[in-house]
Amino acid sequence: MARLAAFDAADYLDDEETIAAYLTSALEDPNPDVLPAAVRDVAHVRGMTQLAMDAGLGRSLYRHWHPAPNHATTPCSNCSTPWA
């Protein structure tokens, strides 16, 4: 059976018009998780430093859009089971 490659939107964000359309669609999506994922995809293509400089935000962009760890499912280093 053939294995499919994982989808990576960054593979298709190859020009400014496509990136703009992608981010516009993400802004219009009612799911609040879509926009941060789209910004991460664009940052993957451009590099976070360049994206932050273009937006005039410096490192604050990285801190704002970087996904926070999910402490509810992070295993305790002293335990053998994940936190509930």
Residue-wise pLDDT tens digits, 10-59: 889 988 999 999 999 999 999 999 999 998 898 888 877 777 777 776 65
Look at residue 4 and tell me whether its pLDDT is greater than 70.
yes
Q: What does the pLDDT read at residue 61?
A: 57
Question: What is the model's pLDDT at position 11?
Answer: 87
Domain spans of the chain, in order of start: 33-65
Q: What is the pTM of this model?
A: 0.59
**H or E segment at 44?**
helix 34-46
Residue 45 is predicted with a pLDDT of 86
CA angle (12 as vertex; 52, 30 as ends), nearest 5: 70
Does residue 79 or residue 12 have the better pLDDT? Answer: 12
- What letter would DSSP give residue 10? G
